[in-house]
Every structure is written in structure tokens, then in C-alpha cells.
Structure 1
Amino acid sequence: MAAKSFDMIVIGAGPGGYVAAIRGAQLGLNVAVVEREHLGGICLNWGCIPTKALLRSAEVFHLMHRAKEFGLSADKIGFDLAAVVVRSRAVAKQLSGGIGHLMKKNKITVLMGEASVPRKGVVSVKTDKGTEEITAKNIVLATGARARQLPGLEADGDLVWSYKHALVAKRMPKKLLVIGSGAIGIEFASFFNTLGADTTVVEVMDRVLPVEDAEISAFAKKQFVKQGMKILEKTTVKQLDRGNGKVTAHLEDAKGVTTAEFDTVISAVGIVGNVEGLGLEALGVKIDRTHVVVDEFCRTGVEGLYAIGDIAGAPWLAHKASHEGVMVAELIAGKHAHPIKPGSIAGCTYCHPQVASVGMTEAKAKEAGYEVKVGRFPFIGNGKAIALGEAEGMVKTVFDAKTGELLGAHMVGAEVTEMIQGYVIGRTLETTEEDLMNTVFPHPTLSEMMHESVLDAYGRALHM
């Protein structure tokens, strides 16, 4: 029997893969998707979406404790961790089912199984029923990434958790150690700390949220400490001694090694690309530190083979993967595609307070040789923030002093993950400070702080 032939085969149905498949189908391509686990990938099933559902529960719990401030009363405030987890899983399930519907609607062939690429233009799919081969001129690798496991710090699901274990927590940690303060680590630290866990965060770099602007990191850290978190920077976890119901962590900083006891450890020390078992080396694909090396159009250098999303390297963000998927589908369909500009991709972290940023930090802009103008505006100067009872936060903007180009924008505070998009559009449209100053922002909104921060960079802030 001849192998089934397609115009495009996508390996992996996460936010990169399923979006690539939909765009390909919209452009008239005959598309197949191979997925070994769940439609929607990690993001939808075990990442972005269910964590936001958990964090929403924590946010509501936090607000219930503040009821009196708002002239309200709430007694006997408590939580049921199992019910919080059930809600989070239901949210993920609803969306995962939606992806199945989108695949059908767009007439995309879905094969559930393990894929490899034995030779150019051929994908071998191993399913429960055996192995079948399908062919296509164009193959898109969208296999994503998984949590990095450091030797001796491996998750066991009992005392030491990965993000997956934390998402379906069987018990509430009393004394929690979170290793790593990137987005994943700090979101889980924020969730469990809000629900009452005694939380310690260890970060090997010199500050929490190390990819963010230093001023934003410092502001966020101050809030985390105020909420009762312990933050240990420039600290490494050397080893974990697992005992009966407890873990002794050996923590090393400039002063030496100390030990501390915890009942739960969450390891969030980065990710590694899912590059194994695909047969990539034999095809001549270049792999650098578990990521496939690609050009600006996500081409691997092997004709007809593309890689998108987490497997293709930083930034490891779902929205970057989706846009790369669209770009690759358009290239395959013979359309004119624009490469993705990493500097215009926003990063969002849903801790409390939220953090969001796009473009260069102040330090990076100076390093790159720019003469900069920097503006800042605090939440305390904004009417809507005060009315919401969310007066802790700031917006920071970085401009090129010579051209007025918006080089970067950085925010910490309530709802900043929704606001950052304004600056993202600004960067995409290549706006200058003048365009932003001449834009009328609605009142009363948190977004007015974005305007004020721009004005402040040029010594024109009105409410400060």
C-alpha cells in the first residue's frame, strides 16, 4: 500500500503545531498533524492555561481576605485545594476539546502517535496499532520542550515536584522550596505562598526574574518579601537529602553552604528541547544545546524541514510558537512571509504582582550603545489603580534619545499582562515617542500610566 501523501506534516500539536496546521489548511494545503499526547500541547494542558486558572483562584482568595478594605465582609475564608485543581483541569480540558474541533473543521488529518523522520520527506508514526509511514514535501517540527532535570534534584512526585506535579498537587505544602525564579518558578511560588505555604525561592542569578529589567525585578522582589516569601539570590541548591516526609536542601551562596528543611520542593530550572528520537542527526539537522538551529524563517538547512516554537530556541513562549507556525505555513504555501522579530515579543509573568515586558531592558539598551531616555510612572499616581485597591506597581519605558524609538517597556503591577500589548503594537508599527504622546488614552484606566511613563521620559509627566 502506497504511503499517504500530504502537502505538509506537522509533528506536535501545541500552540506552534496546531496553529501551523490551521493556517496551512486555510491556504489550501492538505495537512496532517502527529501528536503523541494531547492536542494543545504543554501550554494548553500542562502550562500556560491551567496555571492561570490556579493563579486566578489564589487571586480571588487574596481579595477575599481584603474584603474589609472594600467595605465588604467575608467570614470563614478557606480553600479546598482539590477543588481548585479540578477547576484548573476542567479549564484545560475544555480548551483541548476545542482544538480537536478546530482540526475537524479545517479538515486536518490527526494521527495520535510517536513520530520520527527516517528520511527526507517521510514521517514514521508509531501508534497502538503499529507503525505507518506518511510523506510530504514539507515537514514542520513543533515538538516543544520539557522541564530540565538537574542531577540530584530530579522530581519524584512525592517530595520533589515538577510543574506537572504542582499543577495537580495532592497536598498543600507547608514549607515550600522553589528552585528557579523564572516565570514558572515564581508563578508557583506566588500561588502556594498566597494559599499560606511558607515559601522560599532560590535563584542562581543575582536577582529574581533575571530576564526582566533590574528595576522591575527589584520592585517585584520587594512585594514578594512583603507577602512573606524568602528570596535567596546568587544561591545554588547543591543537593537534596530526601527523608521521611521531608527534604533537607544544601544551599550554597558566597558565604558557604547551609542546610534547610522543607516538606516540598518544586524544581523550575529551565527547559530542554524535545529533539531525541526524531532521527534529526541522521538527516543532518544541526542541534545546539537541545535546540534545533534555524534561520529567521525557521528553516533547518535540510530542504523542506522546518522547526518552530520551543524546539527552535528562545524566547520559549507560546505566542512566539504560534506566529512562527503561521509564518512557516505561509512560506510553504508560497506566500510572502515576514520573519518574527524577537524584540517585539512580549513576556508575561502572572505572579502577584504581575510582570510584563517587551524589547530591551535599560541595561541592554545601554550595552547596545544607545543613548537612552527613561520614563517611569507609579501606580500610586493613577486613579483607577487606587480605586481598584492596587496602588503597588510601576510602568517604565526606554527610548532612543536620538530617534525617539521605543526600545523597551517594562511593567509590574495589576493587569500589566493585558496592558503590555499597547507597547507591542507601538513597536510593531515603529512608533516614536511623539506618536505615543499624541495618543489619547481613556480615563480612568490603568493604561493612562503608559502615557505618563512616555511623557516622563521627556520630562513632561502631568500627574507626578
Structure 2
Amino acid sequence: MAAQSFDLIVIGAGPGGYVAAIRAAQLGLKTAVVEREHLGGICLNWGCIPTKALLRSAEVFHLMERAKDFGLSADKIGYDLDAVVKRSRGVAKQLTSGVGHLLKKNKVTVVMGEATIPSKGKVTVKTDKGTEELTAKNIILATGARARELPGLEADGDLVWTYKHALQPARMPKKLLVIGSGAIGIEFASFYNTLGADTTVVEVMDRVLPVEDAEISAFAKKSFVKQGMKIMEKSMVKQLDRGKGKVTAHIETGGKVEKHDFDTVISAVGIVGNVENLGLEALGVKIDRTHVVTDAYCRTGVDGLYAIGDIAGAPWLAHKASHEGVMVAEFIAGKHAHPVKPESIAGCTYCHPQVASVGYTEAKAKELGFDVKVGRFPFIGNGKAIALGEPEGMIKTVFDAKTGELLGAHMVGAEVTELIQGYVVGRQLETTEEDLMNTVFPHPTLSEMMHESVLDAYGRVIHM
């Protein structure tokens, strides 16, 4: 069979790949996307979306338990774990079928199978029906990443889980150990802890949510501990002894090893890029610690070969992948493309309380040599937060004292994953403290705290 030829072939149909393919098709490029498992990738099937559905169930359950605080009564509150999981899977399914529809609508050719790149501009796909040959001048690698497995701590699906097992649990953990307190670890810890699991989180760094601003991490930790979580920082799981229905974890803190028993362990210790079996080494693609090395335009150094999303390194976020996908499609089509700046990408964590941030932490800004002005505002000073029954949280803003540039914004509390976008837009438009102070924020909203935090940085705060 003759090879099918395209202007662009995208390998991987996650939030990077499918978005790149759609944008390329919109720009008139004849486009194919190759996917080995599910349209929508990890994000829609096993990541961002189904976890948010689970966390929403936990949030509603938590509110039901607090019914009395709101003058309401709710008796015999309980949950059906299978039904919670079923809802989550249904949400994921609805969105993945949506991706299929969008690709079809944009006339993107979808090839389901495993891709390799035997030589420049050629892609071979192993499908159910045999092998298909595709050619294109441009190829985008969007193969994503998978959970990192540490030796001795590998998942078995019974006692030790990865995120996939945690998304469709066979049982409710009673005593849970979560290894790693990045976004994935802390979201699962939050979900299971809210539903009643006795939860311990072990983090090798000196604080939970280690990429966040130190003050925000400390605030979140206090909340988690108040909710009954045990947090072990500067600690390491050295080994797991698996028995019948229980795991004994050897946890080292400050040079001392203690043994603790659990019935379930969730490992969330980072990710590794899916760089194997593609033929990248033979093509001369540079790979650094399982990630493809790229320039600002996602070029790999091999002519016509680009890499986007998780495979191209941090930050490992779906929205970064999508944005890079659009940028590369526009670059290939000869449009004026803007490289994606990592510090302009917001991170959102949907634990309880939520955490969101964009730009530099206070420590990073100082390390980069900025003279900073820092503002803070607590949720307890905001009318809407109190009315919502969510008075715990804070917003922190970091400005360059010389220019008034907003260097970073960091939040913890109810709905901050939605609020952060205001600061993201502000940074994109190169806002200064003056612009933000002169902006009229609607009342009563949580967003008013964003205004007050800016005012506080300049000694002008009103409600504190």
C-alpha cells in the first residue's frame, strides 16, 4: 500500500497533540494524528478531568457534613464509592468522545496505533489491521509521560497503586500512604482523606507542594493537618514490605528509619517522558532525563521534528501542552508564533483548600535579584468568603519595587483555581501595580481579595 502523505503528522492525541492537529487543520494543513490508546490522552482519560470529578464528589460530601453550619439538616450522610467512580468515568468518556467529534469536524485523519519514526519525515504505525506508512514534512511529538516508578516501590494494583488504580479503586483505603506531595499526590490525599481514609503524606523535600511559594505551602499544610492528614516532610520511603492485606513502609526522617503499616499506598513521585520505541535516538534527537530537548519554538534540532507537552519537559501541565501545540501549528503554517514562557503558565491544584499560582515565588524573585514589594490578603477579610462559609485562605502578590511589574501571584483557598486567571491576564498584558489598583473589582466577590493584596503591597490595603 502506498504511503499516505500529509503536511503534518502529530504523534499522540492528548491535550497537546489533538489541539495541535485541530489548529493545523484550521490553517489549511493536511493533518494526521496517531494515537495508541485514547483520544484526549492521560488528561481527559486518567488525569485532569476524572480527578476533578472525584474531587467534586468529595467537596459536596464535605459540604453535606457541614450542613448544620449553613442552617441545613442532612441525615445519614454517606457515599457509594462505585457510584462516585462511575460518575468520574462518565465525565471522562463524554469529553473523549467530544475530542473524536472535533477531529472529525476539522477533517483531521485519525490513525489508532503505535507510531515509530524510521527516518526523517516518515511515520510507521502498527495498527490492529497491520502497518500503515505515513509521510509528512513536519512531525510533532506529543507522546506525553507516565508515572515514575521507584525501584522497590512499584505498583501492583492491589496494595500499591498508581494514579490509574487510585482513579478506579477496587476498595476504599482505611489507612493510606501517599508518596509525593506534588499536585497528583496531594489531590489523591485530599480525596481519600475527605472520604474518611486515615491519610499520611510523605514528601522528600522540606515542604508539601514544593513548587509553590513557601507561605502558601505552610498555609496548605496547616489546613491538611487540621483535616486529619499526617504530613511527613524531608522524609523518604526506603522500602515497602508487602504482606497479606497490608504494607509495612520503612520511612526515613532525619537519618532515622521508622516502620508504619498501611493497607494502601499511592505512589506519586513524578513522571517520565514517553520517549522509547519511537526511533528518536537513531534520528539524532537529544534526550535529557527522559525528556526531549527543544528550543523556544519546540524544535528538536532535527529538521521538521517538534516536541510539545510533557515529553518536552516542565511545567507538566495540559494547558502548556495545548498552547505549545497551537504555537507549533502556527509556526509550521508560517504565521507569527509566540513562544510559550514557562513563568507565564499558571499551576492549579484541586486539593481542599485549592492552590493556584503564576510567575515567580517570593524566594525566586529575590534570587533573581529583584527588589520586591509583597502584598497579602486573608479570606477572613472578605465578605463573600465568609458568606460562602470559606474563610480560610490567602492571596499573595509579588511586585518589582522598581517598575511595579507583577512578578508572581500565589493563592490558597476556595475557588482560587478560577481566580488565578485574573493575574495571568494581567501579566500577559504587562500590567503594573497602578493598573491593578485602578481596576474596579465587583462586590461581593472573592476577586476583591486580589485587589486588596495589590493594595497591601503598597501600604494601601482597606479591609485589613
| Matched residue, 2:74 | 74
AA matched with 2:366: K
Deviations along 1:125-153, one digit per CA (max 9) or x if unpaired, are: 00111111100000000000000000000
Q: Which residue of 2 aligns with 1:95?
A: 95
CA distance, structure 1, for counterparts of residue 327 and residue 216 of structure 2: 32
Q: 1:229 and 1:403 mapped to 2: Cα distance?
A: 42
- Letter of the 1:401 partner, please give it: A
Amino acid at match of 1:370: F
Give, as a single letter, the amino acid of the residue that structure 2 aligns with 1:180: G
Gap regions ≥5 residues in structure 2: none
Aligned to 1:149: 149
Matched, 1:216 2:216: yes
Q: Normalising by structure 2, what TM-score? A: 1.00
How many Å apart are 1:2 and its aligned residue? 2.4
- Aligned residue runs from structure 1 range 170-209, under 5 A: 170-209=170-209
**Cross-structure match for 2:398:** 398
Give how far 1:333 is off: 0.7
- Whichever residue aligns with residue 104 of structure 1, its letter is K
**Alpha-carbon distance in structure 1 between the residues aligned to 2:331 and 2:5:** 19
Q: Which residue of structure 2 lines up, in the alignment, with residue 326 of structure 1?
A: 326
Letter in 2 for 1:28: G
SS of equivalent to 1:397: strand
Alpha-carbon distance in 1 for matches of 2:3, 2:133 = 6
TM-score, normalising length: structure 1? 1.00
1:240 correspondence with 2:243? no
1:197-253, Cα deviation, whole Å (9 max, x unpaired)? 000000000000000000000000000000000000000000000000000000001
Instruction: Please name the residue that 1:28 is paired with.
Output: 28
Q: Take 1:290 and 1:64, find their aligned partners in 2: how far apart are those partners?
A: 44
User: What aligned pairs does 1:248-267 form with structure 2 within 5 A after superposition?
Assistant: 248-267=248-267
In the TM superposition, 1:444-463 aligns within 5 A as 444-463=444-463
Distance in 1, matches of 2:4 and 2:19, equals 22
Taking the aligned partners of 2:313 and 2:171, their CA distance within structure 1 comes to: 34
Q: Tell me which residue corresponds to 2:440.
A: 440
In 2: Cα distance, 1:363 partner to 1:294 partner: 27
Q: Give the Cα–Cα distance (whole angstroms) in 2 for the partners of residues 362 and 104 of structure 1.
A: 46
CA distance in 1, matches of 2:265, 2:191: 14
Task: Identify the residue that residue 372 of structure 1 maps to in structure 2.
Answer: 372
2:442 alignment partner, SS class: coil
**What corresponds to 2:108 in structure 1?**
108
Tell me if structure 1 keeps the 8 A contact 2:273–2:310: yes
User: What is the rounded CA distance, in whole Å, between the counterparts of 2:335 and 2:414 in structure 1?
Assistant: 40
Matched AA of 1:409 = A
Partners of 2:180 and 2:171 in 1: CA distance: 21
Instruction: Answer yes or no: is the 8 Å Cα contact 2:4–2:134 preserved in 1.
Output: yes
Equivalent position amino acid for 1:363 in 2: A
Q: Secondary structure at the match of 2:118?
A: strand
Letter of the 2:319 counterpart: H
Q: Distance in 2 between matches of 1:276 and 1:99?
A: 26
Tell me the distance in 2 between the aligned counterparts of 1:16 and 1:255.
Answer: 42
Map of 1:419 onto structure 2: 419
Judge conservation of contact 2:221–2:231 (CA < 8 Å) in 1. Answer: yes
Q: CA deviation at 1:255?
A: 4.4
Distance 1:348 1:204 in 2: 21
In 2: Cα distance, 1:97 partner to 1:444 partner: 38
Matching residue of 1:229: 229
1:61-109, Cα deviation, whole Å (9 max, x unpaired)? 0000000010100000000000000000000000000000001100000
The residue aligned with 2:428 is 428
Task: Write out per-residue CA displacement over residues 295-340 of structure 1, whole angstroms, 9 at most, x where no aligned residue.
Answer: 0000000000000000000000000000000000001111110000
Within 5 Å, give how 1:249-398 maps onto structure 2: 249-398=249-398
Letter in structure 1 aligned against 2:108: I
Aligned counterparts of 2:243 and 2:333: Cα–Cα separation in 1: 57
Tell me, yes or no, if the aligned pair for 2:2 and 2:133 is still in contact at 8 Å. no
Per the alignment, in what secondary structure is the counterpart of residue 326 of structure 1? Answer: helix
Where structure 1 has 5 or more consecutive residues not aligned to the other structure, the ranges are none
Q: Distance in 1 between matches of 2:41 and 2:406?
A: 34
Provide, for residues 17-54 of structure 1, a one-character-per-residue CA deviation record: whole Å limited to 9, x for no partner.
00000000000000000000000000000000000000
Question: Which residue of the partner structure matches residue 65 of structure 2?
Answer: 65
Distance 1:195 1:156 in 2: 23
Assess if the C-alpha contact under 8 Å between 2:356 and 2:416 holds in 1.
yes
For this pair of structures, how many residues does the alignment match?
464
Q: Deviations over 1:179-210 (max 9, x none)?
A: 00000000000000000000000000000000
SS at match of 1:365: helix
CA distance in 1, matches of 2:2, 2:60: 57
Structure 1 vs Structure 2 CA RMSD: 0.4
Q: 1 CA distance for matches of 2:342 and 2:441?
A: 27
